[in-house]
Structure 1
């Protein structure tokens, strides 16, 4: 579905909502009360993050082109979040992008965003590397626009001092926003290792950038700010963990996406390390009502079972918060 079609769908929804509200004025008291109860429901749509299927994709068992088909046919999810690692050489490949777009359209799937990795550091203290980082992200903004996405997700790993990181991050984000804004592409930052895994740091970058086209993508699980091996982002033991609920709360005022990370589940279907009810309570208290991305990253369940368990848990929590 193209971005223009997405806007058309939104316009139709807005018309329907307006009609419902207009009709409410002539309803009986009991009917009006029922409508009020309905409008209080905590509603949002689900999207599927491509990383949830990273094992199948990296092994070649699943083609990146099949991702939107799987999202719809296996899970009845109508929006997807791409990870550029799975088609890194295809950013300018119109044959590939056209086919991916066609498969989305054929299955009624919306392309939400592209998570961009493997480009030069946007938050580096080295100005030349930051310039290279901005240049490296341009092609993904173009690809996102072509696919009908509304955002790209970027990383701010960086190094140097925290002050250097904040200043360099805001500078790079503003440059990317200048490129993305005319194309309708927002620039979103995920808490994704290093300084970016601090909610306080992320909020400070947002305040300094001061641009409505720049936002955050709170992820439930990426709040390790320092690991055992200096400079390591993922492999060694975490020696300094930021409070995950505080971090999400600090990022929510700027949220342009919301990543429901999951790893493992107990017998009741709850995530064993992350209180989903608490996370979604933070979301409900915010203004954000966009897609909630399912990002299963566990080892005990298969990718398919993990995705299904995450969907089930999110739906249970949504029902609890709508009661």
Structure 2
């Protein structure tokens, strides 16, 4: 009734002005909505198919040579445009190793890491475990001891909200021996990790773990849904010479293709770049296409290991390359 009275009592001129105002308002809203929808559409087209995490190994020189506090990892990663964190256990030594990885030392590591991640709005993705024994060693007693040492890291990952730990599958260089021991060690550790809702991931990281076919065969044999791979674009050297040059290298593209069906994380390795910003020695378009074709949409971790660019510049160059390739593949 109020609206009718208003219309009845308004002059024709006033009514016309009102109509014009209402029409303009509706048109503006329509234009704004259209613009918002268009922007949203552009975002969907240009957004990468993966999330960006930073492997802490990318700043190992800063930490070991320049004395940078490893607990500034979250702050640095945030400033460089990442959203996920991939911790490296050995970069918290001697703090942890001197304490023999005691419950108190591990609890302090977890608390400090969580505080920094929360402060900077970062997601804890995984922890890369090194120096805790050989999971595929032939000696069963040693293998079992290695499993026990890794359990502390499973607990830490769970307390930090990570989805996984990355392990090394070091052991025999005889394929049959290595596979049998690897299956046993991984099964035992993954069975425990399942109770904590943590994935156990194996990276191709030297030895027979860098043989994609053997590595994939171990995953198939273990057959646990929380045991998977972390394909690294560049770690396919099986044996090295005394000067650390590679003696026997597995085909990296074949290897990544073999490991992707079991992947729960991916490592974008880089060393040096050409003048166009492409990684020397690794075809990122080919690698990223395989990752995309596998249906992988999780975190891809930048792991810069070069020596020509400094670590910050190398990290940014790798990230820029990943985003450039993602646009090409969209």
TM range (shorter): 0.7 to 0.9
| Counterpart residue number, 2:124 | 111
Do structure 1's residue 238 and structure 2's residue 246 form an aligned pair? yes
TM-score by length of 2: 0.82
**Offset at 1:288?**
1.6
Residues 144-159 of structure 1 aligned to structure 2 (within 5 Å): 144-159=157-172
| Counterpart residue number, 1:3 | none
Matches of 2:118 and 2:48, distance apart in 1: 28
SS in 1 for 2:201: strand
Matches of 2:235 and 2:160, distance apart in 1: 27
Do structure 1's residue 253 and structure 2's residue 276 form an aligned pair? no
* Cα separation, partners in 2 of 1:56 and 1:36, compared to 1, 3 Å: closer
Do structure 1's residue 140 and structure 2's residue 145 form an aligned pair? no
CA RMSD between the two structures: 2.1
Do structure 1's residue 43 and structure 2's residue 49 form an aligned pair? yes
User: Is 2:237–2:246's contact at 8 Å kept on the other side of the alignment?
Assistant: yes
SS in 1 for 2:234: coil
**Offset at 1:148?**
1.1
| Structure 1 spans left out of the alignment, 5+ residues | 1-30, 230-234
Matches of 1:64 and 1:276, distance apart in 2: 29
Do structure 1's residue 287 and structure 2's residue 295 form an aligned pair? yes
Q: Deviations over 1:111-153 (max 9, x none)?
A: 1000000011100011111101101101101111111111000
In the alignment of these two chains, the number of paired residues is 286
| Counterpart residue number, 2:30 | none
**Offset at 1:42?**
4.9
| Counterpart residue number, 1:273 | 281
**Offset at 1:76?**
2.0
Match of 2:312 among 298, 304, 319: 304
* Cα separation, partners in 2 of 1:144 and 1:60, compared to 1, 3 Å: farther
**Offset at 1:105?**
0.4
User: Is 2:49–2:292's contact at 8 Å kept on the other side of the alignment?
Assistant: no
* Cα separation, partners in 2 of 1:160 and 1:309, compared to 1, 3 Å: closer
Match of 1:86 among 61, 84, 91: 91
Matches of 1:123 and 1:99, distance apart in 2: 32
User: Is 2:304–2:314's contact at 8 Å kept on the other side of the alignment?
Assistant: yes
Structure 1 runs, 4 residues or longer, greater than 6 Å off: 34-37
Matches of 1:35 and 1:302, distance apart in 2: 37
* Cα separation, partners in 2 of 1:228 and 1:284, compared to 1, 3 Å: same
Matches of 2:47 and 2:253, distance apart in 1: 23
SS in 2 for 1:183: coil
Matches of 1:217 and 1:238, distance apart in 2: 21
| Structure 2 spans left out of the alignment, 5+ residues | 1-36
**Offset at 1:228?**
2.5
| Counterpart residue number, 2:15 | none
